[in-house]
Chains A and B, each alone.
Chain A
């Protein structure tokens, strides 16, 4: 898949998307009949109460799971019908992630964690790039520290550096401030939007949150409730 950052194109399109899990005789429906499209460079927040299906929707959009109903298109091509390895290849090339619980590998230091996506691509300049991004998130001094030696805010900054280092076209952030206190949460959010604005204007940001204030910083808010899209508002 290729992209042209200068023209707005539909990156992701969901058609009648649904997701359910088998539970005893009755399937448990988590998402139903979702239709949406996201343009390149757009910042989209998915907002909703707990259990609304926000994280599941993010997982489906990122190809971390496959929908049980409907279709998901990436740049017009069917994404959900690809096998796991093909989807992994798309993720390696196009996608970055930031998680609520940071998800850093405990045995790697900060620098190595940031290098990881580039190493997976076989980039020979992984180390230099990672060092650069660690500098951008203000953690040069902590490069050799392992996650257990970092605070929550620092860990999330490492995770942000890891997400940006591979220059993804789409960045998924799942409650990126959910595990942080208000002050640290605000700093991390500022960093996220600042980095996007300076370094990755063409990058699409899809952010899951239940924090309306954070969602307001995005261009568009998709509101979910009980697995259905009830609002699609533009800020």
Chain B
């Protein structure tokens, strides 16, 4: 207890005397970043999870051909889980003489499980509600009512059952189904279909049971549920139905994790640097304690306890700052957050203290142990004591601390390893290049003016210190560049995915004889549109001669691509937004077997079904068996919101098969009446309005973009802190030089020029190296981790050297300003 109190007092005295400022600030920033990342990550992850769960209709969704058994539903209720079941099928709706295929959704009393339904009633009044339609009522999309000519209050017939139209359906929270079903949506109560032949055992209805509840219970359910499902049922993943959003989210989350990781690593580096300086400054104190008869073990214990107090304080302060900063971010995001965020837990606060102690031990233990080795003789020697800790121990401990930290923050070994390998690689390369450059400059020393000589001597005669500084500055700049570059491109990429002029309407069931006229109407109206793609439907039956379900991996046995008919098309050219990953596009194909058609398959489905180039696929198209061979594999940017297809055939070979056409186009907000005109001109064409879905996607992307910018601020702060810590580490030596040169008659201008030159040189060089290496590293990370295509960005090459040079010279000016102004006699006294 005595030592605890003693060391608390010593630590406090040190803080008051300004001894621990850099160390504490670095530690507090590291902890604040990690806490911010932890709390925000936890809450936004939760919110995004809720959002995606809402889109999917539940956190977990069981999909099957029959309803889920009552026993299973009861077990969910017993486990305190909420659930809602609905059935989806295609049926015919009629009103008067008009008939149209519709996507019928029949929902139970618990619908919607998450979120609300947006409806429109009389006098265009809109509202939201969280109850399903009453039995006997129907809600339909406005475009369907328009095509049928039905008004509110009319009675519609769907699948032989009469319903009263009570509201127009503007938006449902569960958007699953995406583009797979192009028929307009109608919503009825499940009980309205009881005893209807629509739901008999041969029906092609799909039942979906959405489940939500406590995260832990759901996690456990993911493990156990698959075993309890029947053969026709499977657990669905929202990624299947929302690939664009899912990809953006995955990229975004990875990026946020990387940015956060970099911020904390930089701050941790600053902790390491500050500790080194601290240890040097404490050498005399330790030697004195040893002189006063304290054993090595006791000295180390006292130092450890001091560290404990510092870690505890920094953990609490950093935790509170990180926690407060998270409120800032949440406030910033409030307008775009779709749902209330789940409450923040206090867990990250405790983690903050543990993190501070972990960092201190990782980065400070080696210098601390070496302090214990100091001989009492040091007190009698005027020279600075050289700390002799093992480099292996120092870097080993720091490496372990950093790896643990990375894994703790990102939970992703791959990301952590790549980040660390990248940063270490940069360090090594920079050290090598820096060493060569220093040698070159030093060989030219005699030909240079005085302050060049002085500045260069300072750099060249301490190569280890200079190279450490150069690589640390370069690392810090590179890290900031990587994060900035990544954030910039990620946001551009997202913006490109959601261009202002993106398609928001799909037109399906365009008959071949209507194709020209339909395109002409869109052109006349000046509406941007995609090309009109032929649309055919076929089922994949065999792969390389084996039944498809048996030929694919077990995990894909009930894949959507096998269970239902696929939308196919033909195209002469590779569609926009598609890139060839393997194979060749027609007509540059090697000769195929007679009667075997070449096809191009989408990369994700090829991966899921383990399909390779040359595999033979058999399709059943309206009773005809088509033999095909995979000629190419394409990557599709689903988020382009253009029509996309799993399988594409070459032109001409399928033109005699029954087909319709599909197009997407951009409908300005104020031209809703145009759809009415189109419907009248092309009564058989169905329109799918995807504006609501786009708005949801935009909301999520905007959230992520803001998160990126906010975290970038922290990364910048951490980068500046490392620079500052490094500057402070050599401050005493630099002050000593300043004072001596002043005593010898150097003017302030001379000293300032020499100092500016040294740091302009160092900062400029670090900036050039950071730009080069950052770009190299980024081109790699972009492809491997963020799935972004690399493209050059000149601004990121020009700015680093300029900013690096100015930043270091500016920092040096701030750090050494006092030394320049203070009379040499006073400064000499301070330093001794």
User: CB of A222 within 8 A of chain B?
Assistant: no
- Chain B nearest CB, measured from A145 CB (Å): 12
Closest to A179 in B: B382
Asked if A167 is an interface residue, CB under 8 A from chain B, the answer is no
Q: Which residues on the A side are within 8 Å of B828 (C-beta)?
A: 64
With A89-B745, A95-B745 already in contact, the answer to whether A146 and B832 are too (CB < 8 A) is no
- The reply on B713 being an interface residue by CB < 8 A is no
Bitwise interface map of A from 31 to 45 toward B, beta carbon under 8 Å scored 1, else 0: 000000000000000
Partner of A88, one of B462, B746, B832: B746
> A79 contacts the other chain (Cβ, under 8 Å)?
no
CA distance A215 to B457 in the complex (A): 38
Asked if A132 CB lies within 8 Å of chain B CBs, one says no
- Measured CB to CB, the closest approach of chain A to B453, in angstroms, equals 7
Closest chain B residue, CB of each to CB of A127: B446
Asked whether B462 lies within 8 Å of A120 as measured between CB atoms, the reply is no
B-contacting 9-mer, from A99-107, A135-143, A202-210? A99-107
B743 contacts across to A, CB distance below 8 A: 62, 64, 91, 97, 103
B496 lies within 8 A of chain A by Cβ: no
The one of B450, B461, B750, B823 in contact with A64, judged by C-beta atoms closer than 8 angstroms, is B823
Instruction: Map CB proximity to A onto B139-180 as digits: 1 under 8 Å, 0 otherwise.
Output: 000000000000000000000000000000000000000000
Asked whether B825 is an interface residue with its Cβ less than 8 Å from the other chain, the reply is yes
Interface centre among B454, B740, B825 (most CB of A within 10 A): B825
How distant is A147 from chain B, measured CB to nearest CB, in Å?
9
A contact residues around B749 at 8 Å (CB): 85
Tell me if B691 is interfacial: C-beta within 8 Å of chain A: no
What per-residue 1/0 map shows which CB atoms of B241-260 lie under 8 Å from chain A? 00000000000000000000
Residues of A within 8 A of B515 (CB): none
Give the docked Cα–Cα distance between A77 and B255 (Å): 68
Contacts of B826 in A (CB 8 A): 65
Q: Is A56 an interface residue (CB 8 A)?
A: yes
Asked, given contacts A89-B745, A97-B743, whether A108 binds B457 with beta carbons under 8 Å apart, the answer is yes
Please give the distance in Å from B74's CB to the nearest CB on chain A.
80
- Tell me the nearest residue of chain B to A94, going by C-beta: B745
Segment from A46-54, A111-119, A192-200, A225-233 that makes contact with B:
A111-119
How far is it, in angstroms, between the C-alpha of A88 and the C-alpha of B383 when the chains are bound?
Answer: 28
Check A89–B747 contact: CB distance below 8 A: yes
Size of A's binding interface in residues, CB under 8 A = 34
Distance to closest chain B CB from A102 (angstroms): 9
Q: Could you tell me which residues of chain B, from 778 to 832, have a CB within 8 Å of some CB in chain A?
A: 821, 823-826, 828, 832
Identify the closest chain A residue to B746 (Cβ): A120
Residue of B nearest to A55 (CB): B825
Q: In this assembly, does A223 line the interface, its C-beta being within 8 Å of a C-beta of chain B? A: no
B729-745: CB near A (< 8 Å → 1, else 0) gives 00001001100111111
Instruction: Say which residue of A89, A107, A112 sits within 8 Å of B462 (CB atoms).
Output: A107
Given known contacts A89-B745, A95-B745, A119-B450, A65 and B823 CB-to-CB distance under 8 angstroms: yes
Residue B748 is within 8 A (CB to CB) of chain A in the complex: yes
CA A2 to CA B18, docked complex, whole Å: 46
- Asked if A92 is at the interface (CB within 8 A of a chain B CB), the reply is yes
A73 within 8 A of B: no
Q: A59-B825, A120-B750 are in contact. Are A146 and B461 (CB under 8 A)?
A: yes
A13 in the interface (beta carbon within 8 A): no
With beta carbons under 8 angstroms apart, the residue of B740, B742, B745, B747 that contacts A105 is B740
Closest Cβ neighbor of B466 among chain A residues: A107
Number of B interface residues in the complex (CB < 8 A): 30
A166: min CB distance to chain B, Å: 8
* Cβ-based interface call for A84 (8 A): yes
Given A89-B745, A107-B462, A146-B461, A65:B382 Cβ within 8 A: no
Does A93 sit at the interface, judged by CB under 8 A? yes
A89 to B749: give the CA distance in the assembly, Å: 11
Which of A56, A85, A97 is the one whose CB lies under 8 Å from B747? A85
A122 part of interface (Cβ distance < 8 Å): yes
Interchain CA distance A120-B743 in the complex, whole Å: 11
Confirm or deny: A66 has a beta carbon within 8 angstroms of a beta carbon on chain B: yes
Residues in A with CB closer than 8 Å to B453 are: 119
Distance of B819 from chain A, by nearest CB (Å): 12
What string of 1s and 0s marks CB contacts (under 8 Å) between B498-535 and chain A?
Answer: 00000000000000000000000000000000000000
Instruction: Please tell me which one of the listed residues A56, A65, A105, A112 contacts residue B824 in the complex, with CB atoms under 8 A apart.
Output: A65
Chain B residues near A92: list those with CB within 8 A: 744-747
Neighbouring B residues of A62 by C-beta, 8 Å: 743
Cβ of B458 under 8 Å from chain A: yes
Residues of B contacting A88 with CB < 8 Å? 742, 745-748
Cβ-defined contact, B745 with A120, below 8 A: yes
Query: From B826, which residue of chain A is reached at the shortest CB distance?
Result: A65
> Which residues of chain B are within 8 angstroms of A108 by Cβ–Cβ distance?
457, 461
Chain B residues with CB under 8 Å of A122's CB are 450
User: Known: A84-B748, A107-B458. Is A56-B737 also a contact (CB below 8 A)?
Assistant: no
Instruction: Collect the chain A residues with CB atoms within 8 Å of residue B454's CB.
Output: 119
Closest Cβ of chain B to A62, distance in Å, is 8
When distances are taken between beta carbons in the complex, the residues of chain B under 8 Å from A146 are 461
Separation of A116 and B826 alpha carbons in the complex (Å):
22
Are A101 and B832 CB-contacts (below 8 A) given A65-B824, A146-B461?
Answer: yes
**Chain B minimum-CB-distance residue to A168:** B745
- Nearest opposing residue in chain A for B461, CB measure: A107
For the complex, what is the distance from the CA of A185 to the CA of B285, rounded to whole Å? 29
- In the complex, what residue of chain B is closest to A91 when comparing beta carbons? B745
Specify which of B737, B745, B746, B748 lies most central, judged by the most chain A CB atoms within 10 Å of its CB: B745
CB–CB B457/A120 < 8 A: no
Residue of B nearest to A59 (CB): B825
CB distance from B465 to the nearest CB of A (A): 9
Contact between chains at B748 and A117 (CB < 8 Å): no
Nearest 5 CB-CB pairings of A with B: A92-B745, A107-B461, A59-B825, A64-B825, A65-B825
Q: A65-B826, A162-B744 are in contact. List 15 more A-B contacts (CB 8 A).
A: A62-B743, A64-B825, A66-B823, A84-B823, A85-B747, A85-B749, A88-B742, A92-B747, A103-B736, A106-B733, A117-B745, A119-B453, A119-B454, A120-B450, A120-B744
A-B contact pairs, 7 of them (CB 8 A): A64-B828, A85-B747, A90-B745, A101-B382, A119-B453, A120-B746, A146-B461
Which positions in A face B, CB cutoff 8 Å? 56, 59-60, 62, 64-66, 84-85, 88-93, 95, 97, 101, 103, 105-108, 112, 116-117, 119-122, 146, 148, 162, 179
